[in-house]
Structure formats: structure tokens, C-alpha cells
Structure 1
Amino acid sequence: MSATLDQLIATRIRQDVQGMHAYAVQDSRGMVKLDAMENPHRLPAALQKELGERLADVALNRYPGERIDDLKAALARHAQLPAGFGLMLGNGSDELISLLALACDLPGATILAPQPGFVMYAMSAQLQGLKFVGVDLTPDFELDEKAMLDAIALHQPAIVYLAYPNNPTANLWNDATIEKIVQAAPGFVVIDEAYQPFASRSYLDRMAKHEHVLLMRTLSKFGLAGVRIGYMMGPQRLVQEIDKVRPPYNVSVLNCEAALFALEHEDVFAAQAAELKRERARLQAALKDLGLKSWPSDANMILVRVPDPAASFEGMKARKVLVKNVSRMHPLLAGCLRLTVGTAEENAQMLAALRSTL
């Protein structure tokens, strides 16, 4: 006699998975979408037409092949990858984070990261059956150097994640503190530079000094969130080992071709990033004029503290502006909303909606 669906779920799916919440994506239809740190700019019409013609010529009946190597070479040039270093591709950075947990899944292994931070660090550890240790930032969202070093000494993590800049706080951390953490780490240190197009500094030049440091980037914030291309760089031998757990065809031929096309027109995306940085400065000044506390940002988002985050979030949503209420994600984020930097028009709408809720 076959079991009922309830019985199958209860007995065949892991208990911790049953207790989890799926990653939530807000319904943004009809909204000014400023909740997910996407580039609000689309390609110019002429480039849209050119890309469409190019994608129409892709052999959809074939598995991804040599063009994947072309994309890796183009990304290496774009990132100015140091000699002797390798690069691997992921279906967004999320997959790379999962693959790292899979590759480092030894008995008793631990993943460590500052909190609040990107939720996938902890989720990837849990799904792979690894221990996750979160170390609180300071109230101003700086690295707590002593707490980080003490946690590293105690837990001896296989992986330490450092987002540079951090999500959702948007700030770059103290470089001297980062170096102490890198020196103290007994395993790998992964510098996550998802927001590099908007940041004033990169760890790339320092990475070559260390054999145990990996650097992740993504084309999502570059302007291709829908294309799902993440990439990880590090010493060639280390990257080759981690690449063994990657599914063989994890990047589609369409995604690959779209990414190659975008890199051929990287000046267009660089101009978009420059415009978003100007808009970020205008937003920060406007938030200050509203008497609100916001933090320095090296990303395309701003963390702001409001008197009543639930009321502001719902009030803005009622006015068709969607942002992210992060106030319950971590005690340090109490009262906070995360605002994605949009176009000038979108930002004006967002500020008007926020002002009406205060």
C-alpha cells in the first residue's frame, strides 16, 4: 500500500528542510521595483535588436561547448585576472556558494561569516549539513575584529565569507581588519564582490598575495540579473579542485552569449554604473534632509533607519513602490529598510512615497 503524500514528505524529506522557509521573491508587477539591487537600465534599443539577432543564431539543440571557454576568457580580461589564477562559472553567485559548501563538506566542517550578511552563506551551509557560525557586526555595521578572530580561533572554519561591500548594509569594511582575518583563517577566505561595479575599492590586487583566498563576482549587478552568471577567481590549482563539483552544463548557451555580448559593450554598463553612483549620492543627501539615518554605501543600495519600518514599507507599497523591509532579519537591523538605487525618476517616486509615510 503506497504512502500518502503527507507521509512521504514527513518521512522522506529532511526535517530541517521541512522547517525552512523558501527564499521569498516579492511580487513586483505594476510596481517601481527597488527591492533587489537590480540595475534599472535596459540596453539601448539598437543593442537590444543586435542582441536578439545574435541569440536567434545560437544552436539551442547543442549542449554548451567552446563558447563557455570564450566567456571565461572574456571575464578574465574584464576582471584583469592575475597570471597563474583560474576562473570558474556559476549560475549566479548563489550556485558558487552552494558548490563551495559541497566541495568543503568534511565531517565537522564550519562556515563562518559576519552578520547581518547575505542569507545564502548560512543557507548553503545548512543544506549541505555544515555548521554555520555568524559573528555580529558592530552597531555601525563594521567588522568586530576581536569577535571575528576569536570565532576563527574557536571554530577553525573551512570557509570564511567576507562580502565587500556587504549586503544589506552596503558598506566596505576596514582593510586592515580584513587582512588580520585573512591571516588568521585556517581554511579558505571568500571575498564576495557582488557589488564591485559600484564600489570604490576591490580586493583583487591583494588576492595574489594569498593562496587561500577566493574572489567572487557576478554579472547580476553589472546589469544582467536575469542572465545568471557568477564567477569565482583564485589560484589555478584551487579553482580546478572546486570546479570538479560543478554540474557540467550549468551555464546555458543563451546566457553565455548574452554575457559575451554585454562584455563587448561594457562601456555602456560602466556608464550606467556611474549614473547610479550619482543617483546614490543624491538619495543619501535627500534622506539626510528628511532627518533619517542612513549609512555610507559602496553598492547600489542604501540602508536607512525609519521610525516605523512596517508602516513605511506598507505605505510605500500602497503607492506602488517596492523596497525591502530588513528590520526583522537581524537585531542590528531593527527599524531599517533597504532601498535599491534606481533611475532619477524612480528615486523621486521612492522618496515621495517614503516621505508620505513618515
Structure 2
Amino acid sequence: MTDLLQRALARVRDDVQGMHAYAIQDATGLIKLDAMENPYPLPEALQRALGERLGRVPVNRYPGPRVEDLKRALAAYVDLPPGAALMLGNGSDELIALLALACDRPGAAILAPVPGFVMYAMSAQLQGLAFHGVPLTADFALDEAAMRDAIARVRPAITYLAYPNNPTANRWDPAVMRRLIAAVGDVGGLVVVDEAYQPFASHTWLDEWRADPAAHAHVLVMRTLSKFGLAGARLGYLIGAAPLVAELDKVRPPYNVSALNAECALFALEHADVFAEQAAAIRAERARLMAALAALPGVQVYPSEANMILVRVPDATRAFAGLRARGVLVKNVSTMHPLLANCLRLTVGTPAENDALLAALPPSL
């Protein structure tokens, strides 16, 4: 390593040099069941229509009015509550980073149950905020007493409540959620209800908001079109009280959503019935796959309201390697948190992919 390069590297923050980058597994030649993607492509006719439409997008210009068209289309799609507004992000990952940036006051902290989505903690670290993780119970429920204690002690600027949670896939007790949301409000913090997996869940927090808007002035609902079926388009959105969203929107980079992404998302919303049918197929396959997994000796299957299933096996490393050797890629989450010991996270695929997963499971787990 040259002296010039060493001096350049020394300019990078020490904590960044000590971090691990977000890991993306190489899925070449494998059945990809590791990233909670919608496994269904667009029907061929719609794929052609989308290609023709994207071909007419003026890519020589910055994104223009079509981004506002997309916000209006999303508002109609979610039945935006009165007094609420939308903010777009390049995936929900960008929105998580922007929230940390917007709330970065001296001493500010972010709070979330753990195990949870890794980007909550990573965004806090990158922005210089403290991150406080509160362990879930042994069955992956919210530990209400521990959460309330942490909220009172830390007084977090942002509290994340994923609904359903990643990687555990379960949806938490709404009554507990309501009480925790009120507790965060009492200390003047924001709550982000992360609904990345909403297409596969039986309840949305927007219904709670509509039922009691006064209790949700400090609540943001975050969603993504990635699980909807547009993981490649990178489009996330926040829903919140209009004055709050207006302040958060000030830290959003200009033109953060490309014209191509916006057009792709508009096209998808115009064909939302197709994606709804795909989500229904995934939910049906989830039930079938969970039943088949539960019948296997040594496998513990946890409840899921997402397009993934968390299972505990006797030896996660061995099971993961055996599946990969047989051509199926899943996610070994066993080292993410002590509560996840010997756990694998399985994305729900097509019927053929799920059959391949079941056939590829090692004879002895």
C-alpha cells in the first residue's frame, strides 16, 4: 500500500473503517430465497408495455412533474389520512438515513427492538447518534416493560417499530404498540412504524391512525414498493402529519427519485390488481410452506405475516450449507443476535421454488 493511499484512507472515519458493509450474498446459479423479494415477474404483456413506456421517459431531463404524479397516486393507493403528507425516498433505506440526519441534535438517540432491521442501527452510527436496542422476548414479542423503561431513560428522538418485524416476520400486539407509541409521545419523540411487509400482513397501522389521528401526530408510517414487487426500482415512502413531513423533506436530496423509477412505480400502481394477486399467491404459499416445515423433525417454525419465514433448526450453519450445496440460497441469521441462535430466514418463493427448498433440506438437520 502506497503512502499516498494510506494517507487518503486515514481521512475515513475510524468507526466507518471498523464497520462491516451491508452484506449481499452472491446468488449466481442458485434459487434466491434470501432477500424477501417478490418472486413473480410482471406478465410478459405488461413487461413489454412497461419497457415501451420507460423508453419514452426524457432521461436527458431531471425528474419533473411525474414525481408529483407519483405522490398523488400513492396517496390514492393508501387512502392517505386527512392532514397527512407523503415523502419519497430511494428505497426505505434512504428514508431511514434521512430521518437520522434530520433528528441529529446533540445527545439524540434512536431506539428499536432487537433483533430488527440492521439499517436502524447503521443509520444511527453513520450519523453519530446513539443506538439503543431493546431485546424482544424469547418468542419474539415486544418486551413492553423493557421498552417503556428504555423510552423513559433514553428519551429517543426516533423509535422504530417494524410491523411486521424483520427478520422474525411476526406482527406485534397492537395494544402494546399503542401504549408504546403513547409513551414515546410523552417524551417528545417520533415513532416510525415500518410497514415494509404490509402486502402480506393482516393489519396496517394506517387503520389505527384513521381511528385516532390525535394520538398519531408524532407517528410516521414507512413503506416500500420493494416487497410490493419493485425491488429493482428502489422506491420508499413516508406518511406523516403534513407539518412534520415538510420539515423532514428539507434534508431530502433534490431529484432523489429518478424519472425511470417514478414512471415504473406509476405503472405498477396502475396495475395494482396484478401485484395484489401476486401477494395473495405468496400468502397462500407461505401457509403451505409453514405447514410443510412444521412437519419436519427438529424444525421450529415461527408465526409470519411477511413474505419470509423464520425457522430454528438444530444446526443453522450445517443446514444453510446443505441448502446452498443443493442450489437454494437462504439467509443464515443465527449470528445476528443471541435470540436468533440456529435460525434461518426463508423467503417465500413460487410454488416450484418452495418445492425445491423443501426437497433440498438436508435429510438430517
> Could you say which residue in structure 2 is the equivalent of 1:245?
251
Q: Is 1:155 aligned to 2:148, yes or no?
A: no
Asked if the contact 1:290/1:355 (under 8 Å) is kept, the reply is: no
Asked if the contact 1:88/1:231 (under 8 Å) is kept, the reply is: yes
Bigger Cα displacement from structure 2, 78-87 vs 204-213: 204-213
> Could you say which residue in structure 2 is the equivalent of 1:323?
330
Separation of aligned partners in 2, 1:83 and 1:3:
59
Asked if the contact 1:125/1:132 (under 8 Å) is kept, the reply is: yes
Once the two structures are superposed, the pairs formed by residues 251-270 of structure 1 within 5 Å of their partners are 251-270=257-276
Q: Letter of the aligned partner of 2:194 in structure 1?
A: D
Asked if the contact 1:164/1:192 (under 8 Å) is kept, the reply is: yes
Q: Is 1:141 aligned to 2:140, yes or no?
A: yes
Q: Is 1:164 aligned to 2:163, yes or no?
A: yes
RMSD: 0.9
Give the alignment partner of residue 228 of structure 2, picking from 222, 229, 239. Answer: 222
Bigger Cα displacement from structure 2, 160-169 vs 348-357: 348-357
Give the alignment partner of residue 343 of structure 2, picking from 332, 336, 356. Answer: 336
Q: Is 1:128 aligned to 2:112, yes or no?
A: no
Deviation of 1:356 (Å): 3.3
Q: Letter of the aligned partner of 1:46 in structure 2?
A: A
Deviation of 1:355 (Å): 4.1
Separation of aligned partners in 2, 1:231 and 1:350:
33
Q: Is 1:285 aligned to 2:287, yes or no?
A: no
Separation of aligned partners in 2, 1:275 and 1:342:
10
Asked if the contact 2:138/2:339 (under 8 Å) is kept, the reply is: yes
Once the two structures are superposed, the pairs formed by residues 337-356 of structure 1 within 5 Å of their partners are 337-356=344-363
- The superposition leaves residues 86-140 of structure 1 with CA deviations (integer Å, 9 ceiling, x where unpaired) of 0000000000000000000000000000000000000000000000000000000
Separation of aligned partners in 2, 1:150 and 1:269:
41
> Could you say which residue in structure 2 is the equivalent of 1:9?
9
Separation of aligned partners in 2, 1:130 and 1:183:
23
Q: Letter of the aligned partner of 1:330 in structure 2?
A: H
Once the two structures are superposed, the pairs formed by residues 74-85 of structure 1 within 5 Å of their partners are 74-85=73-84
Once the two structures are superposed, the pairs formed by residues 91-240 of structure 1 within 5 Å of their partners are 91-185=90-184, 186=187, 187-207=189-209, 208-209=213-214, 210-240=216-246
Secondary structure at 2:306's aligned position in 1? coil
- The superposition leaves residues 221-264 of structure 1 with CA deviations (integer Å, 9 ceiling, x where unpaired) of 00000000000000000000000000011000111100000000
Deviation of 1:8 (Å): 2.1
Deviation of 1:7 (Å): 2.5
Structure 2 residue runs of 5 or longer lacking an equivalent are none
Separation of aligned partners in 2, 1:269 and 1:355:
33
Separation of aligned partners in 2, 1:96 and 1:130:
16
Relative distance call for 1:257 and 1:357 in structure 2 (3 A) is farther
Q: Letter of the aligned partner of 1:8 in structure 2?
A: A
Separation of aligned partners in 1, 2:111 and 2:271:
37
Deviation of 1:6 (Å): 1.6
Bigger Cα displacement from structure 2, 224-233 vs 347-356: 347-356
Asked if the contact 1:316/1:357 (under 8 Å) is kept, the reply is: no
> Could you say which residue in structure 2 is the equivalent of 1:60?
59
Separation of aligned partners in 2, 1:248 and 1:8:
29
Structure 1 residue runs of 4+, over 6 Å off? none
Q: Letter of the aligned partner of 1:301 in structure 2?
A: M
Bigger Cα displacement from structure 2, 204-213 vs 81-90: 204-213
Q: Letter of the aligned partner of 1:9 in structure 2?
A: L
Relative distance call for 1:13 and 1:200 in structure 2 (3 A) is same
Separation of aligned partners in 1, 2:133 and 2:357:
32
Separation of aligned partners in 1, 2:354 and 2:235:
27
Separation of aligned partners in 2, 1:301 and 1:213:
26
Separation of aligned partners in 2, 1:126 and 1:108:
13
Q: Letter of the aligned partner of 1:157 in structure 2?
A: P
Separation of aligned partners in 1, 2:32 and 2:249:
35
Bigger Cα displacement from structure 2, 100-109 vs 284-293: 284-293
Separation of aligned partners in 1, 2:122 and 2:150:
19
Q: Letter of the aligned partner of 1:7 in structure 2?
A: R
> Could you say which residue in structure 2 is the equivalent of 1:50?
49
Separation of aligned partners in 1, 2:275 and 2:328:
25
Structure 1 residue runs of 5 or longer lacking an equivalent are none
Secondary structure at 2:47's aligned position in 1? helix
Deviation of 1:55 (Å): 0.5
**Count of residues in correspondence between the two structures:** 356
Asked if the contact 2:322/2:362 (under 8 Å) is kept, the reply is: no
Asked if the contact 2:323/2:362 (under 8 Å) is kept, the reply is: no
Asked if the contact 1:162/1:190 (under 8 Å) is kept, the reply is: yes
Q: Letter of the aligned partner of 2:30 in structure 1?
A: M
